[in-house]
Structure 1
Amino acid sequence: MISTETVSNYLERLASGAPTPGGGAAVALHAAQGAALVSMVAEFTSGPRYADVQEQAQRIAENAKEQMRSALFAAEEDERVFRALSTAYGLRKDTEEQKAERRDAIQHATIEAATPLVSTVNVASAVIELASELLLIGNRSVSSDVAAAAEAARAALGTALVTLEMNIAAIKDETQRAQLTRATTQASQMISQAEEISSAVRSAVSA
């Protein structure tokens, strides 16, 4: 499992010809790293100098850690659902009945495969919101890490956006398509917010 293996072991699996882990798991780990960086900056926002905002910073840190755990769960779920999708594609298609069963299985598995991506979009969005809040009160000596958190979340959203659009194209159910379209809209909006955070940090550094 991703949450318990070493980084090097995960990367070796990612680099192999095995179907999992893949892009969806990598997306979730981008979000997890962003959450971890937010927590780190919040933890550094402590001591007498930050007494007025320390309680707020601790709340941000706790929230970020929860988002990190949610992202790790999404990464593991992505492996599980993608294996199910691979199994669906491997079903027999010798007869018309088998072909119909295979099509239905693929549709169901494709919808299921999008669930971890939607979760990752929600996590990455939360990370960006927390980074925005932290940028106003956080320890200035590690403000670049706020930008790093936003960029990690932005990477997660950008890749999730592409993958979700592929899923939407493959799904016939209009209700499911609409739900995933809402997630892509959210991803696009939050990407812009992440860019604003990075820009604000860079401007502050160069001022």
Structure 2
Amino acid sequence: MIRDESIESYLGRLASGEPTPGGGATGALAVAEGAGLLAMAARFSAAEEDARSSEGLIAACLGLADGDERGFGAVAEAFGLPRDTPEARSRRSAAIQAALSEAVRPPRGIVHAAERALDLAEHVLDAANPNVLSDVGAALGCIRGGLTAAAVTLETNLGPLRDEGLEGIVRTDVDRADRLVARADALLGRVRAAVTG
């Protein structure tokens, strides 16, 4: 599990020729890093409740990273199933759809976790100790990166997805991610304006 790995081990696996971990797991970890920075900034700003909320997001995002790795691993496995007979093709197709239905859950969760992180970032920013403004800015950059990774991962899964109801839900989350990226940019603009005075 990613949560139990050293950074060096995780990055080595990320750089390998294996299909997992990939972009979704990386997006979850980016949001987790952003939440970690927010927890630190909140503590320097006497906002302990925000710090604890941020720590909860870290735990949630670590779970999403592990879930994304498992989910995409199942998709890759399903795509590798035999397709030499009509029955095998039918089984393979059903396995792909079942795996995709599960694989979209973690990146959708990343979008929702990132939204909570942006709520916290805005709250922390409003009362931030000036000495940690750059950390709030770095947190926003991490959260933004996580949103982008989640959106691209979801868009990639839309191609082979055949469940129209789930497809609509996924498209809604991609649109939400795009709006949240714009919100992160606006908050980052506030940070940079405050830093440059």
TM-score (norm 2): 0.97
109, 127, 131: which one aligns with 1:119:
109
**Contact 1:35/1:68, CA 8 A, preserved across alignment:** yes
Q: Give distance in 2, aligned partners of 1:158 and 1:79.
A: 17
Query: How many residues were matched structurally?
Result: 197
Secondary structure of 1:92's counterpart equals coil
User: C-alpha displacement at 1:110, in angstroms?
Assistant: 1.4
Q: Give distance in 1, aligned partners of 2:16 and 2:107.
A: 22
**Contact 1:127/1:149, CA 8 A, preserved across alignment:** no
Gaps of 5+ in 1: 47-56
User: Which has the higher Rg, Structure 1 or Structure 2?
Assistant: 1
Q: CA RMSD in A?
A: 1.0
Partner of 2:24: 24
User: C-alpha displacement at 1:78, in angstroms?
Assistant: 0.9
One-letter amino acid of the structure 2 residue matched with residue 27 of structure 1: G
Partner of 2:59: 69
48, 56, 60: which one aligns with 2:50:
60
TM-score (norm 1): 0.92
Q: Give distance in 2, aligned partners of 1:154 and 1:174.
A: 28
What do residues 27-82 of structure 1 show as CA deviations (whole Å, max 9, x unaligned)? 11001001101101011113xxxxxxxxxx11111111001100000000111111
What do residues 91-150 of structure 1 show as CA deviations (whole Å, max 9, x unaligned)? 111110110110111111112111100011111111111101110012111111111111
Partner of 1:135: 125
**After the TM superposition, which parts of structure 1 deviate over 4 Å for at least 4 consecutive aligned residues?**
none
Q: Give distance in 1, aligned partners of 2:169 and 2:49.
A: 30
Q: Does 1:97 align with 2:87?
A: yes
Partner of 2:73: 83
